[in-house]
Structure 1
Amino acid sequence: MKDKTRFLLIVFLVYALPLFSAAAVQFVDVTEAAGIRFRHVNGAEGAFHIPETLGSGGAFFDADNDGYLDIYLVNSGYWNTSPSTKQVPNALYRNNRDGTFTDITATAKVGNRGNYGQGVASADYDNDGNVDLYVTNFGANVLYRNNGDETFTDVTKSAGVGDNGWSSSACFLDYNLDGHLDLFVVNYLVYSVDVPYPPCGENGIHTYCHPSLFEGAPDRLYRNNGDGTFADVSQEAGVGGIGGPFHGKGLGVVSADFNNDGAPDLYVANDDTRNDFFYNNGDGTFREISLLAGCAYSFNGVAQAGMGVATGDYNGDGWFDIFVTNLSYETNALYRNNGDGTFTDVIYEAHLGKESYLFVGFGTGLFDADNDGWLDIFIANGHILDNIEDTHDILTYRQPDQLFRNKGDGTFQEVSERAGAYFQNVAVSRGTLFGDYDNDGDIDMLVTQSNGPATLLRNDTETQNNYVSIKTVGVISNRDGIGTRITLTVDEHTQVREVNPASSYLSSHDPRCYFGLGPNATVDRLEVRWQSGVRQVFENLPANQEHTISEFSDTPEDALFKAVWIGEISTLRDMNINVNLKDAVGRTPLRIAAEKADIHTVMFLIENGADVNIADANGNTPLIFIINKTRNLEITKHFIAKGAAVNTQNRTGETALMYAAWRGYTDIVALLLENRADVNLKNGHGETALTLAESKGHSEIVKMLKASNEILRKQ
């Protein structure tokens, strides 16, 4: 019995060892040594304008393509019109590759002077190999195109993205999978500093008004036209716009493929109202399903003051979860992805509930702080009201930030007290940037303050754990590879990441994907799924280095899809391969050729055996897709002539006729009716082609559909 007890004790210690012997995470404030001299100015002078409470964000991004992350920090400014005081510039710091930075704002021409800055999104929107900047403001936003020589050009007007409202966060994503990064802009309130709003306060103390007193501003989705310009498609895509149904008072946004169907979805953290979850239908439109999905409210059904938002697979089940920071007395929210289209707020089960109850969270991130293979959580805290201590006994304006270590069992443990001197201080923290600025293999952070200095935190965790970082270079997909899903397996533990630099609060991050490997020296398997549908697999990758992966491999399948994407019919003629193969997101070569409106490739593929009725993962056949996306009458005629089924319904019940009627394509409606398209079919919302045409005011099409229906009734 004694020997058995000793054996059980040894077994317990062996299995407990990873938890108790984990390296203590350490972050060191290196702001001064690094040469960062940035200080945020909110312009507060007693007028209590609400924008003064939000602070600002920034971006870790490689401005000069030298392989090291540079830093862009957004400033706000003063409200008076004196040029000597109002001109508070943003700042661009070039990484000197020795742990220090140099301020190059003036020569780079990205100061954003005269604008009350809020946040920034960074990405290569024009696919020229240089990372650009989109700055959100209280007032007109600014798009800076990177010229590739450490200078930028303001192209806002020509690009058509100068939203003049009050924008908070923004993110670049390729929502329609055409290889060009689109832009989603989150807007907050309908508010003006020139309007004399009635004063707000508590117990006779004047303070900032609550956002519930103001109307929410609609978000915007700008589709990239591929020529340096964008089109506002907010309403037609179903995500907002003037007159749209969604006015959510948004502050944070993140894009990810939450249901693993290959198309990026959007999640918006809203203040004092339900959060928005825009599910990508795969046809250029979104559905808002936060209520159905269980991520609109807190675990007890309350709308919270959503500020920051982050996503990642914290429990290792292959599905992206969502973490949202909120106000004191609310707790933050951890929405666990159930893998069936729904989420569950498990903030208390994860041991993150009472720990956040008295704090006001803003910037946040799910990242592997100690390279043990599990995503940890950082929260930047600081109250909204600078006089909160005058009206509440236990709430404070300045608050400590928090760090939680993932225990690998679905729960977290707060390790703030052991994570370095920085966590013993209090501040009014706002935006948080995550990235490996010194390229040493662990994730560093930069935290901004409202009306205070930015702090650069170097990760100095002493650990024997290994890592790999993955940099993606798109060829057919967007050049940054944003939206690319990377799945890594090591020692039977699988981790999933997506390339997506925008999240947290008003901020953007290192676009490279970092994976902690624990003690393992090699990666067993790495799978890369590009938004083009290309899938690549690598085995036995060495640890402790950055691997750059370019889209496409040398397999016949990849060669087929690449030839279709770029329209190389001569290459296709030399292939002896099944032209009905599907890519990683369920598209056939024919569907891709239709998407590109490439009639010559379409005809070649059909002549060589392409099936015109194979549907993608969303149930869209090439016929449905060509009508919804490009309005190409010639290809539509060719599909029908080759046997395309005109009455096929996709996953949401839409038919080719419904799309044509809704979009007002009179010629295509006539063609479909000639080929016996059914006018009485209903989609998932109970709508017919007729009711859709009526809702859009397409009177000529309404007449055509009614006449066709009358003919059918008499037959």
Structure 2
Amino acid sequence: MIARKSIILLCIAIIGCINAPVEPLQNTTFKMEVLSSKKTGITFENKLTDTSSLNIIEYLYYYNGGGVSVGDINNDGLDDIYFAANQLPDKLYLNLGNMQFKDISTAAGLNQKPSWSTGVSMQDVNNDGYIDIYVCKVGQFNELQSHNELYLNNGDLTFTEAASEVNLDFSGFSTQAAFLDYDQDGDLDLYLLNHNIHSVRSYGNTKARKIPNTLAGDRFYENKMNESGTFEEVTESSGIYSSALGYGLAVGISDFNMDGLPDIYVGNDFHENDYLYINNGNKTFTESIEFYTSHTSRFTMGIDIADMNNDGFLDFFTTDMLPFAAEILLKSGGEDTDQVIRIKERYGFRPQFARNHLQINNGDTTFSDLALQTKTFATDWSWGVLLADFDNDGWNDIFVPNGIVKRPNDLDYINYLSNTNYSQFEQTKKDKIRKKIINEMPTLEIPNLLIHNKGKLGFESIEKSAIGTPGYTTGAAYSDLDNDGDLDLILNNIDTPAQILENKKEGNQSFTFVLKPNENCPNVVGTKLFFYTNAYTTIKEHQTVRGFQSASSSKIHFALPPQGLLDSLKVLWPNGTEQWLKQFDDRLIVINPSVQKPSRFQEKVVNEQFELDLFPFKHIENNYYDEEKEQLVPERLSREGPAVLYADFNQDEIKDFFIGGASQQPAQILLGTKQGTFKNQFIPDFDRDRGFEDVTVASIDIDKDGDLDLYVGSGGNEVISPNPAYEDRIYVNDGKGIFKRAPISLPQTNTGCVAIADFDNDQNPDYFIGSRSITGAYGLTPKSFIVQNEAGRAMKMLDRKQWGMITDAQWIDLNQDDYLDLILVGDWMPITILINQEGKAFENQTAAYGLAATQGLWNTVLVEDFNKDGFLDIVAGNAGSNLKWDASLEKPIVLYLDDFDNNKQADPIIFYEYGKTTIPFASKDKLSSQLPGIKKRFTSYNDFAKVNSIETLVDRKPSNILQTKRLVELRSMIFLNQGGTSFEAKPLPNEAQKSSIEDFSFNATTGTLAFVGNNNNNVAELGPSLANAGGLFNFYDSTIQNFASYQRFPLPLGTIAKKIVQLDNDDFVVITNNDNSYLLKKKE
């Protein structure tokens, strides 16, 4: 009998998106005409019929469908088409021209006995000048007993199946094959991508990667046909994993590190990491995904590689299964919980998130995921992806084939399985049980998407990108089938006929480049073409395996935008030579490798200004996770440190560092030396106070002895305040850099920042103490303090108000009246202006300065006269635009705070815009865990999926809710002072929006603005912000409309940079959270 537990595990394992009506969306950018089978002659259909031994219950990937490949099998200049079928015969169609095709499968000698074909690729395997065909199969599974097939082209429209003769007749769970010349000997070697099915061997820690699996493990074969007439398996010696952990669905070949050698990207389903095999040039690979990406897709299904921003570097896109429709999303399981993610990390698995990833090349062999910023992160149950210029405007667009026949991950369906008593069925009725289980699985047709690239990483919204009719498309390829200068699409669907989408887009100049091997270069796969235009430089690479189980045309398609001119073309051949072209008189250009000078393969971009070195401090965060006690929080506020101060503590005219520690890590004094190094000085009182979390620090000469004392603010968000663990501290300096804690009672709040200045002009330092949060009540506004120092006689509480969840503050004389005013920033609050009333009070004039509508998740603020007009401007670091959330005045993110379940605890409920509607940020399960009434109010996930407001969720009108907050701006901004009366807001350049900004440093002499950032404190549903650890802008002109240049700091990928300090010699020190700290040394 079918075990209920195994069925439920199958469903839970692939939670990602659920069925609901999805209306076809209109795409008006592209002109794609679906051709009828009568027009094309293509009648192929990949039709599936369940059997008792082969169905979605027995075989996890039953609905993965078949691939499609294109290639010119008879060298007539027209691409022909091969369709892979699962339960019917594969078909080969000869292109007759004018979009007409002829089925030559039988005449060509193809095996017409049905067997479970998956992926298909076309390449000239034996270097005879004709395209061969390699077909992947599923074998050794129930009645499926076939093996992979290699059809060698006889040159007369017939093929000879020769897989067993050349040792490529693998029988197991194959997905796709990709050919590459890994040893640069002029012939094509083979990477065979295989996939596992759930078994005991599928789980465990990453040590299992070294245990080979005969059916599911990937294989690598070296081409020895010129020597022995066969391929030799070299999987183990080449460094390729071949274990049962791999669920390989995607494979892409490219020179990821631009060293002239082909590398391999493998996209794995489920818990296993994606792999990035870097070619070492000695017939071995090194798996290096952690050094190239911060995180990847979780259920990676497809991959393609192309230059998406026309900067001359190759980027890549991986697909996952996150729904773009809100109603489907709310019935989905979503991400792993944060606890599960941490368990996986302990087992050796890297961070993975269930959404698409658009990995943009930083030019230094690292990639930053910008799918959230570009709003391409959710395209539903997406198989492959094709990156190509489908409208001939010079920018690569994104095509995503979509849909699965049965969705076993519907949460209501999983509940149905959990609540059904299968013991009533006898063993003899297992077929009846299976049929019932399958029939209950939801069915939903989804439209394919063709997303227009508008340039500069701007893309058309998903809501306007549907193309064709909804269905189930798995295999997809592109080719200019009719040689009219634009790219057409070929689709392999499930249970409906295959389709040709003819591109009818007109206008703009395009070129087709055909690369022809010869004796100088017998293999052209992997050739790079650099196009130099009057607008940009871009790169294209000769690879055919793209998307999912499919391969596209080997012809290189290139189009120019309006008024675009192609100046020159550099060709980098795989044999290590380069060739230049400057005449482009014809639209079709055939390029034959010629004897040219050796190429200089484009190396990684060398940082022009800085080199990286370690700084002698490592922050070690204690293990505490806010979301384990507060289920509905979007971020952790317990990891705000470390505090950093750069000043001369021992009066030797050399600046030193104070760096605070996390709980159980003592703060440190690092004394500067004449040699430019720093020496740790042990401070007994710091060691005794190691239990505090040092999150902020300011200098103060509290005893007026001429040296700098310290005010250290405590945070942590771990215990309810007031609590001694949050007590701020003052340490008195003996003049030699030895500090002792002063016996002074200070606030016991979760301090966010402290700012000290003489705001009443009495020559005594006064204090602002900004509170970060109220522990256990995320979103409620804590009280912050303005404390007046009355000539050493007493400390007077001048003001104590709820200004916000404060993260940073700065004293400045904004209105030039000789009294210091106060600028505040924080979470869920605007840039706040408190104007000093001659030292007697402070007046909130945020609205008067035009900043009332700036509510954000602000981390840091810096006030300077950036444009040198005599008025102080503001630059503020925010969460950035590379988030799942997108905030604006018209579509704000809203936080509702109240005791919704009457348990005397405030509950934060967040709503945000997703697709076409507003939805709760927290899932039904999370909401129910904190608010038990939710489970009773919404008995099914289908009911919950209709929630689009706080009122429908908790049956309470917004006007009756205790507190409501909004976010309307998530970008980091500069606010230019307009003559002292108001501010003009401008977003910082796109490079500064890729991640959160945590700190700034401005050099008024050079006009450079440095910043650092990244944030790993968001909960899994929101995801980390790790795309840019920092960089340096040069201001272009006094109006700050543009920036002259941008230099990315060479910090390690994923660095959580919290503070940046510019040293006296123009070097920078970057202090991180829970990691090493770094010295950025200015190059001579």
Aligned-pair CA distance for 1:170: 1.3
Q: Distance in 2 between matches of 1:117 and 1:41?
A: 13
Q: Distance in 2 between matches of 1:141 and 1:191?
A: 22
Aligned-pair CA distance for 1:395: 8.1
Contact 1:403 1:416 in 2 (8 A): no
The DSSP-based 3-state class of the residue aligned with 1:44 is coil
Q: How does 1:154-165 map to 2 (within 5 A)?
A: 154-165=161-172
Aligned-pair CA distance for 1:294: 1.3
TM-score (norm: length of structure 1): 0.65
Q: Which runs of 5+ in 1 are unaligned?
A: 1-21, 78-87, 198-213, 299-303, 558-581, 587-715
Q: Distance in 2 between matches of 1:294 and 1:521?
A: 34
The DSSP-based 3-state class of the residue aligned with 1:53 is coil
Paired position in structure 2 for 1:637? none
- Equivalent of residue 511 in structure 1, options 545, 554, 572: 554
Paired position in structure 2 for 1:468? 511
Paired position in structure 2 for 1:341? 365
Q: Distance in 2 between matches of 1:584 and 1:154?
A: 40
Paired position in structure 2 for 1:171? 178
- Equivalent of residue 314 in structure 1, options 308, 311, 318: 308
Residues 322, 332 of structure 1: CA spacing in aligned structure 2 closer, same or farther, 3 A cutoff? same
Q: How does 1:26-425 map to 2 (within 5 A)?
A: 26-32=31-37, 33-45=39-51, 47=55, 48=57, 49-77=59-87, 88-111=88-111, 113-139=113-139, 140-190=147-197, 217-227=216-226, 228-241=229-242, 247-272=245-270, 273-294=272-293, 297-298=296-297, 304-328=298-322, 329=334, 330-353=354-377, 355-356=378-379, 359-383=380-404, 385-386=406-407, 391=413, 397-414=444-461, 417=464, 422=468, 425=469
Residues 257, 97 of structure 1: CA spacing in aligned structure 2 closer, same or farther, 3 A cutoff? same
Aligned-pair CA distance for 1:521: 7.3
Q: Distance in 2 between matches of 1:397 and 1:480?
A: 44
Higher strand proportion: 2
Q: Which amino acid aligns with 2:374?
A: A
Residues 289, 190 of structure 1: CA spacing in aligned structure 2 closer, same or farther, 3 A cutoff? same
The DSSP-based 3-state class of the residue aligned with 1:391 is helix
Contact 2:84 2:91 in 1 (8 A): yes
Contact 1:373 1:495 in 2 (8 A): no
Paired position in structure 2 for 1:546? 588
Which digits, 9 at most, give the CA deviation of each residue in 1:402-461, with x for residues without a partner? 1111111112113774775x1xx2111101111111101111111112333211111111
Q: Distance in 1 between matches of 2:396 and 2:294?
A: 20
Residues 136, 216 of structure 1: CA spacing in aligned structure 2 closer, same or farther, 3 A cutoff? closer
Q: Which runs of 5+ in 2 are unaligned?
A: 1-26, 140-146, 203-212, 323-333, 335-353, 416-440, 603-1084
Residues 215, 317 of structure 1: CA spacing in aligned structure 2 closer, same or farther, 3 A cutoff? farther
Paired position in structure 2 for 1:202? none
Contact 2:527 2:574 in 1 (8 A): yes
Q: Distance in 2 between matches of 1:185 and 1:112?
A: 23
Paired position in structure 2 for 1:456? 500
Aligned-pair CA distance for 1:520: 4.9
Q: Distance in 2 between matches of 1:134 and 1:376?
A: 28
Contact 1:523 1:542 in 2 (8 A): no
Residues 418, 170 of structure 1: CA spacing in aligned structure 2 closer, same or farther, 3 A cutoff? closer
The DSSP-based 3-state class of the residue aligned with 1:349 is helix
Q: Distance in 2 between matches of 1:326 and 1:295?
A: 17
Q: Distance in 1 between matches of 2:28 and 2:405?
A: 34
Q: Which amino acid aligns with 1:62?
A: D
Which digits, 9 at most, give the CA deviation of each residue in 1:327-361, with x for residues without a partner? 234321111121222212111111212x42xx110
Aligned-pair CA distance for 1:51: 3.6
Q: Which amino acid aligns with 1:117?
A: S
Q: Which amino acid aligns with 1:441?
A: G
Aligned-pair CA distance for 1:64: 1.1
Q: Distance in 2 between matches of 1:521 and 1:345?
A: 29
Contact 2:73 2:80 in 1 (8 A): yes
Q: Which amino acid aligns with 2:305?
A: T
Which digits, 9 at most, give the CA deviation of each residue in 1:480-506, with x for residues without a partner? 511000011121321200110111100
Aligned-pair CA distance for 1:385: 2.8
Residues 112, 159 of structure 1: CA spacing in aligned structure 2 closer, same or farther, 3 A cutoff? farther
Residues 398, 387 of structure 1: CA spacing in aligned structure 2 closer, same or farther, 3 A cutoff? farther
Residues 477, 31 of structure 1: CA spacing in aligned structure 2 closer, same or farther, 3 A cutoff? farther
The DSSP-based 3-state class of the residue aligned with 1:36 is coil
The DSSP-based 3-state class of the residue aligned with 2:266 is strand
The DSSP-based 3-state class of the residue aligned with 2:106 is helix
Q: Distance in 1 between matches of 2:295 and 2:465?
A: 34
Q: How many residue pairs end up in the alignment? A: 495
Higher helix proportion: 1
Which digits, 9 at most, give the CA deviation of each residue in 1:187-235, with x for residues without a partner? 001579xx9x9xxxxxxxxxxxxxxxx9992111111113341110111
Identity %: 32
The DSSP-based 3-state class of the residue aligned with 2:511 is strand
Contact 1:169 1:253 in 2 (8 A): yes
Aligned-pair CA distance for 1:396: 5.5
Q: Distance in 1 between matches of 2:373 and 2:265?
A: 22
RMSD: 2.8
The DSSP-based 3-state class of the residue aligned with 1:274 is coil
Q: Distance in 2 between matches of 1:269 and 1:305?
A: 8
Aligned-pair CA distance for 1:42: 3.1
Higher relative contact order (CA 8 A, sep 6+): 1
Residues 181, 452 of structure 1: CA spacing in aligned structure 2 closer, same or farther, 3 A cutoff? same
Q: Distance in 2 between matches of 1:363 and 1:327?
A: 11
Q: Distance in 2 between matches of 1:429 and 1:251?
A: 15
Q: Distance in 2 between matches of 1:362 and 1:108?
A: 30
TM-score (norm: length of structure 2): 0.44
Paired position in structure 2 for 1:595? none
Q: Which amino acid aligns with 1:373?
A: G
Q: How does 1:624-703 map to 2 (within 5 A)?
A: none
Q: Which amino acid aligns with 2:311?
A: D
Residues 485, 67 of structure 1: CA spacing in aligned structure 2 closer, same or farther, 3 A cutoff? same
Q: Distance in 1 between matches of 2:385 and 2:105?
A: 26
Q: Distance in 2 between matches of 1:224 and 1:28?
A: 41
Residues 177, 23 of structure 1: CA spacing in aligned structure 2 closer, same or farther, 3 A cutoff? farther
Contact 2:572 2:599 in 1 (8 A): no
Residues 253, 476 of structure 1: CA spacing in aligned structure 2 closer, same or farther, 3 A cutoff? farther
Contact 1:180 1:477 in 2 (8 A): no
Aligned-pair CA distance for 1:478: 5.9
Between 475-484 and 112-121, the greater mean CA deviation after superposition: 475-484
Residues 89, 383 of structure 1: CA spacing in aligned structure 2 closer, same or farther, 3 A cutoff? closer
Which digits, 9 at most, give the CA deviation of each residue in 1:259-284, with x for residues without a partner? 11100110011101211110111111
Aligned-pair CA distance for 1:31: 3.7
If you compute each CA radius of gyration, which structure gives the higher value, 1 or 2? 2
Q: Which amino acid aligns with 1:340?
A: D
Aligned-pair CA distance for 1:508: 0.7
Residues 34, 114 of structure 1: CA spacing in aligned structure 2 closer, same or farther, 3 A cutoff? closer
